[in-house]
Amino acid sequence: MTRAHTAAPGGDTRRSRAPRRPTWSQLWAGATVLAIAALLLVPGWLAPSDPYHLDVSQRFQPPTAAHLFGTDDAGRDIFSRVVHGARYSIGTSVVVVTAAALFGTVYGAAAAWFGGALDRVLMRVVDVFLAFPYLVFAMAISASLGRGLTSALIALVALWWPSYARMVRGQVLSLIKDYHVRAARTLGASGPQILRWHVLPHTYDQVLVRYTLDLGQALIALTGLSFLGLGAQPPTPEWGLLIADAKQYALTAWWAAVLPGCVVFLVTLNFMSLGDRLRRRGGPR
Amino acid sequence: MTDRRERTGSRLLRLLTSLAWILLVVWVAVSVTFVLSRIVPADPARLAAGLDAGPEQVAEVRAEMGLDQPLAVQYGRYLGDLLTGDLGRSLQTRQPVIDDLLTALPASLELILASYLIYAVIGILAGIAWAYWPRGPHTLLLRFGAVIGVAVPVFWVGLVLQVVFAGKLQWFPVAGNFDYEGTGVPKVTGMGLVDTALTGQLPLIGEALRTLTLPVATLVVTHLAVTMTLMRSSLEEQLKRPYVRTARARGVKERRIVFVDALRNSLNPVVTMLGLQLGWSLGGVVIVEVIFSWPGFGRYAYQAFSAFDYNAIMAITLLSTVVFVTVNALVGMIYPMLDPRLKEAR
């Protein structure tokens, strides 16, 4: 009975449609999700060679069929490094946004649910966080915790959750006035039950849209920190670090810096368009 | 009149609350960075003493820097120094941090102001054009710019511009800002373009412009999209409102409806975003300055973060927080001018 209202409002009015042929853009979205999953899960199958294998005789090779993205100053195959780096770059971004979304959701929901003085205090904290220039603070936190991918991760989570908290709080505030919540309360559902089954599920749509859009932004922020030497450390093939290393010889071996950057761009772009697609599917309520 | 007095009273109150808010945020920021700088695994005293210092020397330096005191004492001393305007000395340059910052800031200001003017103006104009002419071949270009602007990392844009226009085509210098040496240009503001403009010599102005082009272009490409898309969607939304339909039905000229009525109503979110972007600008120039070896605040920050120069780091976060909060407070004061309803509501 407590599950009675988990369906999205209007979900029951949606007509069941006959299976349709997917559109090209749907196919593209599916393909990119699969490609990213493959990069994260089985990079070894996709990379032609060992990302750490040094071969000085092969240094600064321009892109060819053997070395799709060319080689770097130590003769390492850049394409293989990019493939193996996905785990660090995309993987960490996913962790960052997931942690921020989870924490922010719980925090915002708690603030809205308990209300009163606690809500005011909790939201003031959020306001303070949002009043920090986050780029500089990300750098400061990451530098202070000791340069490394974990420090960059912590720094980004610490600065990313407040926007989720604010968003979810607003939604929960309006949802708890809804009839279905009042009905559940009348029927004797407990506070946590109501939150879990009747309020939070309705916030997931918006959180998911934000989550997908943020994945791209987190990737840019994370690679930026690594580019400044505040994230991953050598010889990790993390993308930002890869590009930072290649910066020194960018004028002679452009591929080493430019091609991995293209990958960052493409991945971000796909996360953004995925988020956009979700938002449009959700539509204005 | 009592009414007016009440209004000035509430205005003063508002000013005071926003000032108190600024102070609170700055204090929290200072405290957070203070804590961060003391939990660091690297030992600042060891860094300052040098690699080949013995344990006694390190202890001596530590006492000299006051780092052997309890944290509360250090914190109190730091806040006290801050109030007198003393930001401490940099470990790297051995200069007072405030002097370092003052020499670095003009160069960054030049980058920030030049790029900000360009992307704010172009962003607003392009957004308006996009909303006014929603169909046509130009939308392809605008869409492309919008996509690039949000999804592309700053460092990649900078590197590509550098490789193409400085490396291959050699139209612009690879790195560095305007070089004063041997030109006889007096360093008045520290901003190359302004100083050369003061001399009025065209070739020098051209040189200053050449050094500015690539870093400014990088900032413009990566900041333009947000303003542009926001302007477009905000104006489009206004144009769907009933008052626009009414005005059209009454035969008000389309130009007047769009550029006077709807435009004014659609500016609020754009102003917010432009305020945020100006507030973030000190952090935003870091990567660009690193790529183009631009000797400003961003590169100083980068060096401070890399070497864990803790006094410099604390000054950097302090300064950028003050800028960010102040800009946001100023934007908050602009709102009522754009939207009279807010003035009445308060």
ipTM: 0.84
**Host H or E run for residue B195:** helix B192-199
pLDDT for A284 equals 43
In DSSP terms, A30 is beta-bridged to none
Q: Which residue, chain included where needed, has tokens 């915002």?
A: A108
**Angle CA A49–A53–A55, to nearest 5:** 110
What is the model's pTM? 0.85
Q: CB of A220 within 8 A of CB of A206?
A: no
Q: What is the mean pLDDT of residues A168-193?
A: 87
A238 vs B contacts (CB less than 8 Å): none
What's the gap in Å between the CA of A4 and the closest CA on chain B? Answer: 36
Question: Which residues make Cβ contacts (< 8 Å) with residue B85, sequence separation at least 6?
Answer: B98
Domain boundaries of chain A, sorted by first residue: 25-281
Instruction: Using DSSP, state whether B181 is helix, strand or coil.
Output: coil
In this complex, is the C-beta atom of A129 within 8 Å of any C-beta atom belonging to chain B? Answer: no
| B156:A141 CB<8 A | no
Please report, for chain B, the start and end positions of each structural domain, with discontinuous segments joined by +.
12-83, 97-345
Nearest Cα neighbor of B190 from B114, B113, B102, B112 is: B102
CA separation (Å) from B160 to A132, B98, B286? 31, 34, 17
Predicted local confidence at residue A5, as pLDDT: 44
pLDDT grade, residue A101 (50/70/90)?
A: very high
CA B169 to chain centre: 30
Buried b (16+ CB within 10 A) or exposed e, B173-209: bbeebbeeeebebeeeebbbbbbbbeeeeeebbebbb
Segment A103-139, tens digit of pLDDT? 999 999 999 989 889 999 999 899 888 888 888 888 8
Where chain B has pLDDT below 70, the residues are: 1-8, 40-44, 46-51, 342-346
Residues 208-247 of B with CB under 8 A from A: none
CA B44 – CA B62 distance, rounded (Å): 8
Among A133, A146, A227, select the one facing B321 at the smallest CB separation.
A133
Q: For residues A175 and A8, which has the higher predicted lDDT (pLDDT)?
A: A175
Whether residue A249 has pLDDT greater than 70: yes
Residue A273 has a pLDDT of 84
Residue B129's nearest CA partner among B236, B221, B219 is B236
C-alpha span between A252 and A245 (Å, rounded): 13
Higher pLDDT pick, A245 / A13: A245
Contact B163 A257 (CB under 8 A): yes
Name the CATH superfamily for B97-345: MetI-like (1.10.3720.10)
Query: Which of B17, B19, B154, B156 to probe the A interface (max A CBs under 10 A)?
Result: B156
Q: Look-up: residue for tokens 């920190």?
A: A225
- The torsion angles phi and psi of A77, rounded to 5 degrees, stand at -75, 115
SS3 B96: strand
Instruction: Provide the percentage of residues in chain A whose pLDDT is more than 70.
Output: 92
Q: Environment class of residue A284 by beta-carbon count within 10 Å: exposed (0-12), middle (13-18) or buried (19+)?
A: exposed
Give the C-alpha separation, A91 to A149, whole Å: 11
pLDDT digits (tens, 9 = 90+) for A262-278: 989 989 988 888 888 88
- The residue with greater pLDDT, A127 or A43, is A127
Cβ neighbour number for residue A88 with a 10 Å cutoff: 22
Residue in B33, B41, B325 closest to A146 by CB:
B41
Query: What's the one-letter identity of residue B236?
Result: E
Residues in contact with B297: Cβ distance below 8 Å, sequence separation at least 6, in sequence order: B101, B104, B105, B107, B108, B282, B285, B289, B316, B319
Check residue A12 and give its pLDDT. Answer: 44
- Tokens 């749509």, residue? A205
CB A158 within 8 Å of CB A141: yes
- Confidence check: pLDDT of A141 > 80: yes
pLDDT in tens, A50-79: 777 777 777 777 887 777 787 777 778 888
State which fold the A25-281 domain adopts: MetI-like fold (1.10.3720)
pLDDT at A13 (0 to 100): 46
- Flag if B156 and A137 touch (Cβ within 8 Å): no
SS3 readout for A92-125: HHHHHHHHHHHHHHHHHHHHHHHCHHHHHHHHHH
Identify the residue with better confidence: A18 or A285: A18
- Considering just the CA atoms, what is the radius of gyration of chain A in Å? 23
User: Which residues share a beta bridge with B96?
Assistant: B89
